[in-house]
Structure 1
């Protein structure tokens, strides 16, 4: 299958997950994340404000803030550039041209300790297939912090890897737990 076909196939499977199972999987991801030393040590966490059918992130954002961590959300500046901007729960966001909620500020966060990387599909080497814009691959090319992604069984797929693809360091896989790649 091509990347486009894999993306379409996995997204349709994610959309079909029941509300009950989705809740259980998201709880599992949150519990596993909190066990990671990278989470415990992180002062700044990069994460997206998820949108369906992505795994819900608002609970993790709330948890991070309660634990005294700072949150950084992605913001697309140009067709080629994405930065991360600090976010607090009371901050306003706006929908981007992609429909993603982004912070209003433009001050780039200099250092992120842990980046929770979204994706549509993942292979066993940690390579991810995103939504097709290449923003995370470009960002990860120079990112020096820790990376982790949440992966359900529907998202574990083999797909063609390209030269510009950057793997995630750790996967939290449904019913498996942490998987270091």
Structure 2
């Protein structure tokens, strides 16, 4: 299967998840995430605002705020460009892609971000990912010096050859079977 076929297959599986089983797996993934040394040390945590069928990042955002962490989320631009800005639930707009993102355009310097929670559809055993195809994260991560982690369901992990421009995440947390 090529990346396009893998993307379609995984999105279909994500959308077919049973709601209560997904909620349980999300809580398990969150518990794993909160135990990470990189999370405990992080002052600036970057995460994404997820589609309903992805890991529920609102759980992570809520807990991280309780833990006193500064949350930053992505804002995208044409040609695969992306910045992270301070998260404000009251300052969001829907993109043409159907995701929420900040209206604010004040970028948080990359050097301040300690940990990036990276989205993805599929991951191999080395942490290489298949995203949605825009290359936003690969560009951003190419010179990022901090920690990276992803949270996925077991069916999102499989063997594939990365492209030469792909940047692996340092740690992938995998839930049990759904």
TM-score by length of 2: 0.94
- 2:161 aligns with 160
Measure how far apart 1:31 and its partner are. 0.3
CA contact (8 A) 1:7 1:131 kept: yes
Measure how far apart 1:87 and its partner are. 1.1
> Runs (4+) of structure 1 moved beyond 3 Å?
none
Could you tell me which runs of 5 or more consecutive residues in structure 1 were left unpaired when the two chains were aligned. Answer: 177-181
- 1:96 aligns with 95
Residue 3 in 1 paired to residue 9 in 2? no
Residue 48 in 1 paired to residue 29 in 2? no
- C-alpha separation between the residues in 2 aligned to 1:81 and 1:161? 21
- 2:74 aligns with 74
Measure how far apart 1:54 and its partner are. 1.2
- C-alpha separation between the residues in 2 aligned to 1:175 and 1:79? 36
Measure how far apart 1:131 and its partner are. 0.6
Could you tell me which runs of 5 or more consecutive residues in structure 2 were left unpaired when the two chains were aligned. Answer: none
Length, aligned pairs only: 175
TM-score by length of 1: 0.93
Measure how far apart 1:169 and its partner are. 0.1
CA RMSD of aligned residues (A): 1.3
2:173 counterpart SS class: strand
